[in-house]
């Protein structure tokens, strides 16, 4: 396979964005929660004039003066590579967006670019502040879809994003699109996850290495995620959540939009339930995603766990009915604490349930075999 390549003009564009980042921040931060800046559609000269009229000429001259050698050595020093819109390896999905980035700076496996076509990739996004249910759903969706051969894209943020990445890494690989340079882990506490993705997957950004994160770079990052994938799945989002921006952008591009339903009284799921009411595709498991993207029954994501005896089955049913601690299970089924505990641990070992840091259990997507 050919090494991805980028022309100096496209690399200079990335550098210009980095230079102008604080100025774009100033004019776009007037409307918080707004969409990706319209400015990014503009050509270099107009962008500089719009973002920083006073120093536009100076900045442009500065960026144009950077020698090509320097552009490439900076990338190499950060262990990154670049792929611009003129390269055949450039992800075709980005061509649909008028404000698509000129170049993608990547770190990790460049071979994944080939698989980064809209029909082979799915974006999973959701709230940073996610419930146990949301995190578990994201993880399971990530795992199932990666196992079914799709490329899972997300944004490395707290909550849903990180869980989707982790789930996908358990089965195969994943792509993270960042709002800062690809050589920087943001948020910093996800450094180990970022490192794992760099080793086994792909990290992408439109900004050159070393660029920090700004408020506007996140909605800008969302437009890339929406354009790369054939379908965007929102796992959990409150109203006015940032992940709804991605959903909006995906809908504008004519991409499929899916949402995982949540309890109707949960604020954390209000946004996704709204999306469903507005006609988004209902996502209950990986199969729903596969059906929506590839057509019903084209690819199967069937996952059935090990056989269960009557007692385990009863515990699983109680958990599905809303008992979420060992104590609640014991009370619901009139078991003693020891019996409920061992049943839950067995189910956890079999992969039917998972447990949070504070002892709250939730059901995974693994379905139990029919009796």
Partner 1 sequence: MNFQSRRAARTTRRIRLHSVAVVLATAQTFTLDGISARPVRVEVDVHRGLPAFSVVGLPDAAVREARERVRAALVNCGFEFPLRRIVANLAPASLRKAGPGLDLAISVALLTASGQLELGSSIAMVGELALDGSVRPVPGVLAIAEAARERGCAAIVVPAENGPEAALVEGLDVICLESLSQVAALAAGEWTPPRPRPMSLDRRQGETLPDLADLRGQRHLRYALEVAAAGGHSLLMVGPPGAGKSLAASRLPSILPPLAAGEALEVARISSVCGRLGAGTAGRPFRSPHHTISPAGLVGGGNPPGPGEATLAHRGVLFLDELCEFRRDTLEALRAPLESGWVAVARAGAWRQLPCRFMLVAASNPCPCGRGESDPECNCAPLAVRRYQARLSGALADRIDVLAAIRQPSAEEIGGPAGEPSETVRERVIVARERQERRLGAGRSNAEMTVAEVRECTLEESAATLLAESYSRRRLSGRAHDRVLRLARTVADLTGNEVIGHEQVAQALQLRRRDSE
Residues that bind partner 1 (CB under 8 A): 128-133, 158-159, 166, 263, 265-268, 324-328, 330-331, 335-338, 340-346, 348-349, 351, 355-360
Instruction: Report the nearest approach of partner 1 to the CB of residue 22 (Å).
Output: 24
Q: Which is nearer to partner 1, 6 or 335 (CB)?
A: 335
Q: Which is nearer to partner 1, 325 or 367 (CB)?
A: 325
* DSSP-derived secondary structure letter, 36: S
Distance between CA 240 and CA 252 in Å, rounded? 18
Instruction: Report the nearest approach of partner 1 to the CB of residue 303 (Å).
Output: 15
Bond prior to 187 in cis (omega within 30° of 0)? yes
Pair 269, 239: CB distance under 8 Å: no
Q: Which is nearer to partner 1, 85 or 311 (CB)?
A: 311
Distance between CA 273 and CA 261 in Å, rounded? 6
Q: Which is nearer to partner 1, 55 or 158 (CB)?
A: 158
Instruction: Report the nearest approach of partner 1 to the CB of residue 347 (Å).
Output: 9
Instruction: Report the nearest approach of partner 1 to the CB of residue 138 (Å).
Output: 13
Distance between CA 341 and CA 223 in Å, rounded? 46
Distance between CA 338 and CA 346 in Å, rounded? 12
Which residue matches tokens 């599905």? 320
Rg of the chain in Å (alpha carbons): 22
Q: Which is nearer to partner 1, 358 or 371 (CB)?
A: 358
Q: Which is nearer to partner 1, 57 or 338 (CB)?
A: 338
CA distances from 247 to 35, 328, 346 (A): 11, 37, 38
Instruction: Report the nearest approach of partner 1 to the CB of residue 264 (Å).
Output: 10
Instruction: Report the nearest approach of partner 1 to the CB of residue 67 (Å).
Output: 42
DSSP states of 91-134 as a string? -GGGGG-TT--SEEEEEE-GGGGGG-STTTEEEEE--SS--HHH
């Amino acid at each position: 396979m050919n090494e991805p390549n980028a022309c100096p003009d496209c690399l200079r564009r990335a550098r210009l964005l980095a230079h102008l980042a604080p100025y774009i921040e100033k004019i776009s931060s007037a409307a918080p929660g707004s969409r990706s800046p319209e400015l990014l559609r503009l050509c270099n000269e107009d962008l500089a004039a719009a973002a920083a009229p006073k120093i536009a000429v100076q900045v442009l001259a500065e960026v144009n003066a950077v020698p090509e050698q320097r552009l490439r050595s900076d990338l190499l020093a950060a262990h990154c590579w670049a792929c611009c819109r003129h390269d055949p390896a450039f992800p075709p999905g980005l061509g649909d967006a008028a404000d698509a980035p000129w170049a993608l700076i990547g770190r990790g496996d460049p071979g994944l670019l080939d698989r980064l076509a809209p029909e082979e990739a799915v974006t999973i996004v959701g709230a940073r502040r996610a419930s146990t249910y949301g995190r578990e759903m994201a993880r399971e969706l990530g795992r199932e879809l990666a196992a079914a051969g799709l490329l899972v894209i997300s944004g490395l943020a707290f909550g849903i994003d990180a869980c989707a990445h982790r789930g996908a890494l358990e089965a195969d690989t994943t792509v993270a699109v960042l709002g800062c340079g690809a050589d920087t882990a943001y948020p910093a506490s996800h450094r180990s996850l970022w490192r794992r993705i760099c080793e086994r997957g792909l990290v992408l950004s439109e900004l050159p290495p070393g660029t920090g994160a700004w408020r506007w770079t996140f909605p800008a990052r969302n437009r890339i995620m929406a354009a790369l994938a054939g379908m965007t799945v929102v796992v959990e989002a409150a109203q006015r959540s940032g992940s709804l921006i991605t959903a909006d952008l995906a809908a504008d591009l004519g991409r499929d939009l899916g949402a995982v339903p949540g309890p109707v009284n949960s604020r954390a799921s209000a946004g996704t339930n709204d999306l469903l009411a507005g006609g988004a595709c209902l996502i209950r498991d990986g199969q729903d995603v596969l059906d929506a993207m590839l057509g019903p029954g084209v690819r199967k994501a069937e996952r059935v766990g090990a056989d269960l005896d009557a007692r385990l089955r009863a515990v699983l049913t109680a958990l599905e009915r809303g008992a979420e601690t060992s104590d609640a299970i014991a009370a619901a089924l009139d078991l003693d604490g020891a019996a409920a505990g061992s049943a839950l641990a067995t189910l956890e070992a079999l992969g039917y349930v998972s447990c949070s840091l504070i002892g709250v259990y939730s059901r995974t997507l693994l379905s139990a075999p029919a009796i």
